[in-house]
A and B are shown apart, each in its own frame.
Chain A
Amino acid sequence: MNSGSRKKPSMYGLSTCGWCAKARAWLESNAESYELVYVDLLDEPQRARVLDELRSRVPKLAFPIVLFGEECVVGYDTGEYERLLERAG
């Protein structure tokens, strides 16, 4: 559905989180490719760096966070994922 997408979505989640698992499954089925970062599995310096970056992009830190280029979605929201994935394509 998304041939030739220029920017692949990036998902930041927690490996223990049910909503993150659902978001990942959605990306698996709908995105041609995506990047996945489990923040809880990062070592301390990496985690701090990623969290700083995420905090600068979202009003409130909660997982999953899915970035579509400059746009980002906090939480499991397939309607928004679909809209932004289509726009990115």
Chain B
Amino acid sequence: MMAKEERARALNAQLREEAEGGGYHLNPDQGWTLGLASGLLVNEERYGYRACPCRLASGDRASDTDIICPCDYRDLDLHEYGACYCALYVSDEVLRGERELRPVPERRPDKRPSPRVASTAVGVRLWRCRVCGYLCAREHPPGVCPVCRAKADRFEEFVLPPSALPGG
């Protein structure tokens, strides 16, 4: 029993450290994140992967890659709601107490496209950190550059010349 609690505490501390190092924030409520860390360990034991504790995993990793923590929806939910679906991660505004933490509606589609194909030309925006050149493909720039810690306003949208696109 103690071993499980200790493992959850260790994971909680590790996730917090990794989040801060990558420009993210874990929920400041330690009790909340400890509970979710326990849930992640339960899911790892049950299914073999750390599925989001607030979603029902299928047991089939290939069907659930989008909900393995950190899930595919984290950054969109952080941007729109100030927290990820299970509220393990929170935004700067929530951390500073400028935004209320509220439950996040489920955005995971009931039917997901399969096979999953990353789009380079349609639907995905590219952002470039003007300070260090870090590039990422996502709907909004990250709050903080995970490489050099520059703030979101130091990012610019990176537009590929048509000649660089497939068929261009």
Contacts and interface: CB of A to CB of B under 8 A. Distances in A.
Interface residues of B, number: 20
A18 B87 contact: yes
Contacts of B43: 16
Contact of B38 (A14, A16, A39, A75): A16
B63 to A, nearest CB: 15
Contacts of A83: none
Contacts of B106: 60-62
A77 B103 contact: yes
Contacts of A40: 46, 56-57
Looking at chain B's contact residues, the main secondary structure is loop
A18 B56 contact: no
Interface string A19-35: 11100000000000000
Interface of A: 14-21, 39-40, 51, 60-63, 75-77
Interface of B: 32, 35-36, 38-40, 42-43, 46, 53-57, 86-87, 103, 105-106, 110
30 contacts: A14-B54, A14-B55, A15-B42, A16-B36, A16-B38, A16-B40, A16-B42, A16-B54, A17-B53, A17-B54, A17-B86, A18-B32, A18-B35, A18-B36, A18-B39, A18-B53, A19-B103, A21-B35, A39-B56, A40-B46, A40-B57, A60-B110, A61-B56, A61-B106, A61-B110, A62-B55, A62-B106, A63-B54, A63-B55, A76-B103
